[in-house]
């Protein structure tokens, strides 16, 4: 290859890898596999070396992420580097040889630990209290997502044991496979694009602006390293693992000290089998020098430490044929295409079906009936079609055309602007009726005991109910003849339906099944509007004034209450006696009535939650970002860009003492 062609190829690779990095780290929507990324990165590195091209901004020199303008930026005191990857034993042996060459001896051990496919986090504890949670970002600086990190139940707000005054924790946020599957199912129902894997769902969740929404995501955490202000050369990575547990932080149960690279190879083989039995996704093994005092001697490149490497497992895949593409109707009318597969064994289970997610995904991968496809399990849980084998072959079937009518009720399908899913909006669509009633009766909604899937199915099949308002007209004599029903169980169901009338307004709102209105949003709407009549007549502007409500939720709420069928059903629920008025909270004072307050930094004595409760108790509301509508900013130590913006806009800034004085007066 001559210089001109090399320059052109280098530019192509840089552009492609930078796009892939942005899709992976910032948008949580990757378009290439890890292995393909690593192969192209190595090709770029080889070309740069061969033609003596040095670019400090090249993907070969930088960690892939970027900081976000939506969060304050924090500088990492010690860079958060990524790890060099390998996919074979020979390259691992080469790594060991390089270590020996630099150290000029082989008097060291390795610590092998599972590599979690999640999102890297940096935590900072001062005097045992969590004061900062940040993303890796570009390795030098990251996003301050402390509020979001504090919602992760695995992460303690206060350390235990004999901790030093300051300790930095490195770890990985992740999602377990089944929780990831439930999250994707919910997103499909809401017409949103699904996450490709648990790693992307975790990264996307951590970058959400509303901590209450983050708290609803099933994020877990494992810590794997500690950094102290004062270095202790006697520490080993194994001892650090023990300290992590002593401090009350979660740590994975599988680290292993290995005296040689041969032992490392044995551990990799063992864990390659083990990984299919774990509840979370692991995509490899991290191998580190156990003696931490050797790390400085081994050093780092601009991107990778020379004292650690990651061995990546091959994703388990299988090829099979698509016999048909069918359509499923979800609770909110979302139409999900499903590949009906020739049964194939994958990761220990027989796979017969795989979600194709939406029309765009089918066309992007050019999936057609009769194709032989590669199937992979995302998070070892959800089968997904990765690609088509030999898409250029002759005699392929025609491109799949998405139907324009609902497969269940024949109503016309619609696609909302900005969404990827087609949707049936007929409130009386049979599959939706069953699922909506099940949702209405669920524990988190109206909690109607005895009204499970099989009972709902019988009630609908027998024509006794066609929507959830019909539940309140049911009579004992109608229920007793149903299969597996007797007088006692029928009476229990009638009693459960009657008791549901006592559930508070926020639960009734959630039970209605309004698109995008989950438990948190339902609670916020109930508190903001207090009565059904005020909510029904709310304008878009009034809805957007509620902190957790964005344009999409506001439009969905307005559309729901405008629908004539929904209006009739809600009228019947009002007549039945359900609670459509929130209990008004007693305020300590109205000194902050109508005020919008933004908090930033760490307050001396109040936690964020305590400060928020005080603001609400005195009639105020908190907001997440500073704007011209902000009344004042409550600022603590390490306040960032929000404080700067408030000063630029001339907004009053209060410290904790001034704030407490204001509300106490």
pLDDT on residue 642: 81
Which positions ≥6 away from 657 have C-beta within 8 Å? none
What six digits make up the tokens of 82? 């990524």
Position 57 in a domain:
no
Q: Do 173 and 273 fall into the same domain?
A: yes
pLDDT on residue 62: 56
pLDDT on residue 191: 61
Q: Do 637 and 526 fall into the same domain?
A: no
Contacts 24+ apart (CB under 8 A), 438-445: 438/331, 439/331, 439/511, 439/513, 440/468, 440/471, 440/511, 440/512, 440/513, 441/468, 441/471, 441/500, 441/511, 442/511, 444/507, 444/510, 444/519, 445/503, 445/507, 445/510, 445/511
Q: Do 79 and 165 fall into the same domain?
A: yes
Environment class of 572 (CB within 10 Å of its CB; exposed 0-12, middle 13-18, buried 19+): middle
Which positions ≥6 away from 99 have C-beta within 8 Å? 108, 289, 298, 306, 307
Position 203 in a domain:
no
pLDDT on residue 380: 46
Query: Is residue 578 classed as helix, strand or coil in its secondary structure?
Result: coil
Q: Do 308 and 330 fall into the same domain?
A: no
Instruction: Give mean pLDDT in consecutive 10-residue pieces for the chain, a chain of 665 residues.
Output: 79 78 58 69 80 74 56 89 87 94 94 91 94 90 91 91 94 89 75 74 86 85 92 88 95 94 95 86 92 90 87 84 93 88 83 89 93 77 82 90 93 86 86 89 92 90 93 95 89 95 95 88 89 93 82 90 92 96 81 87 80 85 80 84 85 92 86
Q: Do 567 and 609 fall into the same domain?
A: no
How many structural domains is the chain composed of? Answer: 5
Which of 14, 40, 115, 141 does the annotation list as catalytic?
A: 115
What six digits make up the tokens of 312? 């990546």
Q: Do 559 and 479 fall into the same domain?
A: yes
pLDDT on residue 279: 85
Q: Which structural domain, as residue segments, surrounds residue 635?
A: 596-664
Q: Do 444 and 468 fall into the same domain?
A: yes
pLDDT on residue 63: 54
pLDDT on residue 296: 87
Q: Do 560 and 479 fall into the same domain?
A: yes
Annotation marks residue 115 as catalytic:
yes
Query: CA-to-CA distance for 468 and 455, rounded, in angstroms?
Result: 13
Last residue of some domain: 279, 294, 312? Answer: 312
Tally of CB atoms within 10 A around 414: 12
Position 497 in a domain:
yes
Position 500 in a domain:
yes
């Amino acid at each position: 290859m001559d210089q001109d062609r090399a320059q052109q190829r280098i530019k192509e690779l840089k552009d492609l890898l930078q796009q892939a990095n942005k899709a992976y780290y910032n948008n949580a929507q990757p378009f290439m596999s890890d292995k393909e990324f690593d192969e192209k990165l190595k090709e770029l590195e080889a070309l740069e070396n061969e033609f003596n091209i040095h670019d400090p901004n090249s993907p070969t020199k930088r960690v892939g992420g970027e900081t976000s303008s939506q969060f304050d930026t924090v500088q990492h005191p010690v860079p958060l580097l990524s790890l060099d990857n390998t996919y074979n034993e020979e390259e691992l042996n080469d790594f060991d040889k390089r270590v020996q060459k630099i150290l000029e001896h082989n008097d060291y051990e390795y610590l092998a630990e599972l590599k979690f496919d999640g999102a890297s986090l940096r935590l900072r504890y001062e005097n045992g209290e969590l004061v900062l949670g940040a993303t890796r970002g570009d390795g030098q600086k990251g996003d301050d997502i402390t509020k979001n990190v504090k919602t992760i139940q695995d992460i303690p707000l206060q350390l235990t044991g004999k901790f030093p005054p300051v300790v930095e924790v490195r770890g990985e946020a992740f999602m377990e496979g089944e929780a990831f599957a439930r999250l994707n199912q919910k997103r499909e129902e809401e017409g949103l694009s699904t996450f490709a894997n648990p790693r992307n769902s975790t990264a996307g969740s951590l970058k959400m602006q509303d901590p209450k929404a983050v708290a609803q995501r099933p994020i877990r955490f494992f810590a794997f390293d500690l950094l102290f202000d004062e270095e202790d050369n006697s520490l080993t990575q194994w001892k650090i693992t023990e300290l992590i547990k002593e401090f009350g932080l979660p740590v994975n149960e599988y680290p292993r000290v290995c005296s040689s690279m041969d032992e490392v190879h044995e551990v990799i083989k063992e864990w390659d089998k083990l990984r299919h039995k774990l509840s979370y996704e692991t995509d490899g093994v991290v191998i580190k020098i156990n003696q931490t005092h050797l790390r400085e001697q081994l050093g780092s490149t601009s991107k990778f430490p020379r004292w650690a490497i990651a061995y990546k497992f091959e994703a388990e895949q299988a090829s099979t044929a698509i016999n048909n593409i069918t359509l499923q109707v979800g609770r909110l009318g979302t139409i999900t295409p499903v590949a009906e597969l020739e049964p194939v064994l994958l990761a220990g289970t027989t796979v017969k079906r795989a979600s194709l997610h939406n029309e765009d995904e089918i066309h992007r991968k050019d999936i057609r009936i009769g194709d032989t496809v590669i199937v992979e399990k995302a998070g070892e849980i959800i089968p997904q079609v990765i690609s088509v084998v030999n898409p250029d072959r002759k005699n392929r079937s025609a491109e799949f055309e998405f139907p324009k009518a609902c497969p269940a009720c024949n109503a016309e399908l619609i696609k909302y602007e900005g969404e990827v899913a087609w949707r049936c909006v007929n409130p009386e669509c049979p599959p939706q009726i069953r699922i909506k009633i099940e949702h209405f009766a669920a524990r988190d909604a109206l909690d109607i005991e005895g009204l499970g899937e099989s009972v709902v199915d019988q009630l609908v099949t027998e024509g006794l109910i066609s929507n959830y308002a019909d539940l309140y007209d049911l009579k004992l004599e109608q229920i007793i003849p149903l299969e597996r029903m007797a007088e006692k169980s029928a009476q229990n169901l009638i009693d459960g339906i009657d008791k549901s009338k006592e559930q508070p307004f926020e639960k009734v709102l959630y039970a209605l099944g309004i698109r995008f209105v989950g438990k948190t949003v339902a609670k916020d709407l109930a508190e903001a509007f207090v009565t059904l009549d005020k909510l029904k007549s709310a304008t878009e502007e009034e809805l957007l004034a509620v902190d957790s409500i964005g344009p999409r939720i506001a439009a969905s709420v307005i559309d729901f209450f405008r629908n004539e069928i929904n209006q009739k059903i809600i009228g019947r629920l009002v007549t039945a006696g359900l609670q459509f008025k929130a209990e008004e909270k007693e305020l300590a004072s109205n000194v902050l009535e109508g005020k919008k307050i933004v908090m930033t930094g760490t307050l001396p004595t109040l936690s964020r939650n305590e400060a928020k409760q005080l603001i609400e108790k005195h009639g105020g509301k908190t907001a997440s970002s500073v704007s011209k509508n902000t009344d004042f900013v409550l600022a603590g130590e390490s306040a960032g860009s929000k404080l700067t913006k408030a000063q630029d806009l001339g907004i009053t800034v209060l410290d904790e003492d001034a704030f407490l004085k204001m509300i106490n007066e």
